[in-house]
Amino acid sequence: MELYPRLGKHFDLKTWTNCRMGMMGWAVIILCYAAKQKQAHGAVADSLLVSVALMQIYIAKFFLCDRCFGSPSRTQPLQASF
């Protein structure tokens, strides 16, 4: 079993699923929560607005620094033995 599966030379399957699908899914889900609250209550609570804004900033920062987050040195398991 390959630790970092690739399709072709340049498509890293692990990075695509973790970074692209996971982070984009998180961004969409939290926006859906805010939209549902607006639909149900007519307004979005201030606490939810702050939470959504902070998470969107974090996700935007993730994609701006995508090279550093996707590097193998951050995703490799520790080489420690007991």
Taking only the tens place, the pLDDT of each residue in 3-49 is: 777 788 878 887 778 778 888 999 999 999 999 999 999 999 999 99
Distances, alpha carbon 18 to alpha carbons 6, 12, 24, 36, 44, in Å: 14, 10, 10, 26, 29
DSSP 8-state class, residue 80: -
Q: What's this model's pTM, rounded to 2 decimal places?
A: 0.66
Q: Looking at residue 48, what is its pLDDT?
A: 95
Taking only the tens place, the pLDDT of each residue in 44-62 is: 999 999 999 999 999 999 8
Closest CA to 47 of 32, 55, 39: 55
Q: Is the pLDDT of residue 71 over 60?
A: no
